[in-house]
Amino acid sequence: MVDSRLGQWLKLVVSLLLLLKTQGLYVGITYVKSAVAKGAVCLDGSPPAYHWDKGSGTGINSWLIHFEGGGWCNNVTNCLSRKKTHLGSSKLMGQQIAFSGIMNNKRPFNPDFYNWNRVKIRYCDGSSFTGDVQAVNPATNLHFRGARIWLAVIEDLLPKGLKNAENALLSGCSAGGLASILHCDSFRSLLPMGTTVKCLSDAGYFINVRDVSGAPHVQTYFNEIVTLHGSAKNLPLSCTSTLKPSFCFFPQYVAPQVRTPLFILNAAYDSWQIRNILAPGNADPLGVWKSCKLDINNCSPLQLKAMQDFRLRFLNALNKATNSSSGGLYIDSCYAHCQTETQEKWFMADSPMLGKMKIAKAVGDWFYDRSPFHKIDCPYPCNPSCQNSGLAPPDNSEKKPPNGSAESVKMSKLSCGGLLMLMGVMLA
């Protein structure tokens, strides 16, 4: 009995130490105040912002530029609501945010990018950094200037060392993952000719598919975004020259023309797309899908069939975009959304694997040309490494106190104290 309790105690100690060791670095915010004069502002007119942890050692001239995600706003009403949050105003952004996963500064948890210059561009425009409308309605004071924000941040970083970049990776999660595709070639054009430039889209490959009621819900939604934000002129010309601009908000119509090496990381059963594209609330008025969307294990056989059909449509939409030998592909069969920003999915002992390869290793090998990675997982539920939480990275960046602050230390002491109390009970 004592041995059993001791074993549990040791497990708790190891878990605590691992948690403390992998906690991300807290990085302060930088406001691009000079951008305001150029009209490069958030929805509420506040300046754009980013967080930058400087590179060191062999990574001093390597840059990871990461777009924050957070959906979109497709009409004045929800843009007005959005501007009252950190996704529409830099005034409401946390002064410090934690860098974890691909942004982690510790080699054991981010082997290839830990010592790079790592920049997270905050998302406050609601258009995946594509909007540009000059006029501002005084009644709403909404500014649709996402494309200007993107350029203003890059212009601010160039003299800070980005102009000397030897390696550069443009990445993003969700709406940020879409931005990394839409801006991939323009990013390449903004950097010196000798720079090795590649792009990584995490959970940004949103597909054009009808919902469970048969309605083209996401097509209508994306059309409203592009129209409201005036995005058409900032979408890739290689696409808009042949298709309606709103179609060029879908990666399947843009990615085939992207010339810069592009790595697509996505769950075939992307939980955000299942919830909001395949089975959005207006297509499921009785809430039949509610339990299934929360946990894939709750899905009925008919719902699972619909999700398997979605996977096939996803793979079909992906097919033409991934023929390039310079590109990468990691399509697992997890029920997940965003896998680069959370440590447990990016690179930990129990992280998801595809072909015995963790995401961090696959991306690193691809970027450094050590080995290509181009794999698609077998259908659900074949991959036992999937965690299948279905959740995007928790939005704790605005809530957690700065690392080392009095409140942070207090929280750590409370956590440790609680654990010690639990140990005492177990060993009593």
Catalytic residues, which ones? 174, 270, 337
Q: Are strands 262-267 and 328-332 parallel, antiparallel or unpaired?
A: parallel
Closest CA to 167 of 120, 102, 204, 115: 115
Residue indicated by tokens 């029920």? 335
Cβ(186)–Cβ(254) below 8 Å? no
Cα–Cα dist 64/152, whole Å: 17
Other C-beta atoms closer than 10 Å to the C-beta of 11 total 10
Bridge partners of 26, per DSSP, are: 98
Residue type for position 332 = D
Q: Are strands 374-376 and 25-31 parallel, antiparallel or unpaired?
A: unpaired
- What distance lies between CA 165 and its chain's CA centroid? 23
Q: Where are the beta strands (DSSP E) in 283-371?
A: 328-332, 353-354, 357-358
Which two tokens mark 415? 């956590």
Closest CA to 171 of 53, 68, 318, 250: 68
Which two tokens mark 410? 């207090």
Residue 361's φ and ψ, nearest 5 degrees, are -70, -40
Cβ(236)–Cβ(257) below 8 Å? yes
